[in-house]
Structure 1
Amino acid sequence: MAFLGSLKRGFSSTFSFFGESWAELKKVKWPNRKELVSYTIVVVVTVVFVTIYFTLLDLGISSIVRWITE
């Protein structure tokens, strides 16, 4: 019987969690289309720059290691 009680508490807390999460999501100020496009552009440009940086860093370190080991 205790198992069923704990199972009921588990389900009620799960449903309570989802209900509270839904209520919090309604409070969020979602970005409009213009903001979303600008944020997306910032993220894509940042990813491109970081990718170029690490690619050049990797090529540089690889060249140094190759030069040392030859």
Structure 2
Amino acid sequence: MAAQTEAKKGKMSTYFKGIKAEMKKVIWPNKKELLNYTGVVILISGIVSLIVYLLDIGIHRVLALFIK
């Protein structure tokens, strides 16, 4: 039983060491890039929500014609 516990601790330790090593490899964006990416995401989200809104209105009006 104790051997299994030690094996689990070893696996967890190896796992977290791997995570730490991978995080060091990541190239994080600087402030300017981050703001640029954030703006793009907000803009695209707004465009998609506008398209969905317009489709919703259009479908609602078409269905209203059939219901009357």
Write out aligned runs for 1:27-46 (5 A): 27-46=25-44
Cross-structure match for 1:10? 8
Structure 2 Cα separation of the partners of residues 27 and 35 of structure 1: 18
**Paired residue total:** 68
For 1:67 and 1:25, locate their aligned partners in 2 and report how far apart those are by CA, in whole Å.
Answer: 57
Q: CA RMSD in A?
A: 1.4
Match of 2:19 among 17, 21, 28: 21
For residue 15 of structure 2, give the secondary structure of its aligned residue in structure 1. helix
Give, in whole Å, the separation in 2 of the partners of 1:56 and 1:8: 60
> TM-score, structure 1 length as denominator?
0.83
Query: What displacement does 1:65 show?
Result: 1.1
Give the TM-score normalised by the residue count of structure 2. Answer: 0.85
Where 2:27 maps in the other structure, the secondary structure is coil
- In structure 1, distance between residues paired with 2:65 and 2:42: 34
